[in-house]
Amino acid sequence: MDTVTTPAVLILLGPPGAGKGTQARMLEERFGLIQLSTGDLLRAAVAAGTPAGLAAKTVMEAGGLVSDEIVLAILQDRMAEPDVTAGVILDGFPRTAGQAAALDALLAASGQKVTAAVSLDVDDEAMIARVAGRFTCAACGEGYHDSFKQPAVAGCCDKCGGVAFKRRADDTAETARARLDAYHAQTAPLIAHYRGMGVLRSVDAMDSIDTVASALGSIVEDVSA
């Protein structure tokens, strides 16, 4: 008897600076998973003029917040496309326990479920130092850090030779701390939700990029077995 494998649904939970984007790209390359960002999905649906996209456009043009129902409809449309047969990585959704429950119902309707919700755990003080020290080359965007990655030649970009650098206005210790506090408050119910489902996994996001990638790869292989 053949075994039917449903596409993996992986959720990455982690505060700004935890490396979700970097790790999602690596998982895409290794496993053929598709990263689905709610922001990107909304813009694509609006541009394509889908029914859900048109509904979202109306709300956004009026200055409102797009409802969970519209986001879920757009997500459902995208997950029905043929390129997601291996599975998806959800980025930015769900953000609340209510959204998580709605996502569970949407997936159940098509015989799917969240296969793993991975918490990328950070040390708050170390994360604040990591975020607050970031700067980039103004010409090519190469990333640097006051403590961890200075240009080999001071004032000169290693990648393109540019001599102008910039910092994001919100890359400050105060902003980073406020973001972390908000993240922990927002995510605590999600952690409890997915722990209750038995699909919560944790990875130390303060490890090296390759070490984190290896841990995430092991989780994907385990839940896909």
Those residues whose C-beta lies under 8 Å from the C-beta of residue 52, and which sit 6 or more positions away, are 45, 70, 73, 74, 77
Q: What pLDDT was estimated at residue 136?
A: 94
* Per-residue pLDDT at 166 exceeds 90: yes
| Residue 4 pLDDT level (bands cut at 50, 70, 90) | very low
Matching residue, tokens 């449309």? 77
Lowest mean pLDDT among 69-73, 114-118, 168-172, 184-188: 168-172
* Per-residue pLDDT at 3 exceeds 50: no
Average pLDDT over residues 122-127: 90
Report, as residue numbers or ranges, the catalytic residues.
20, 95, 134, 167, 179
| Residue 150 pLDDT level (bands cut at 50, 70, 90) | very high
User: Hey, which of 9-23, 136-150, 191-205 has the most confident mean pLDDT?
Assistant: 191-205
At 26-80, the pLDDT tens digits run 999 999 999 998 888 999 999 999 999 999 999 989 988 889 999 999 999 998 8
Average pLDDT over residues 3-31: 85
| Residue 5 pLDDT level (bands cut at 50, 70, 90) | low
- How much is the mean pLDDT over the chain? 90
Q: What pLDDT was estimated at residue 168?
A: 85
Q: What pLDDT was estimated at residue 2?
A: 41
At 86-118, the pLDDT tens digits run 899 998 789 888 999 999 999 999 889 999 999
* Per-residue pLDDT at 1 exceeds 80: no
Helix-helix angle 38-48:68-79, to 10 degrees? 80
Q: Give dist(CA 213, CA 44) in Å, integer.
A: 28
In the structure encoding, which two tokens stand for residue 74, read together?
Answer: 């757009």
Q: What are phi and psi of 15, to 5 degrees?
A: -70, 165
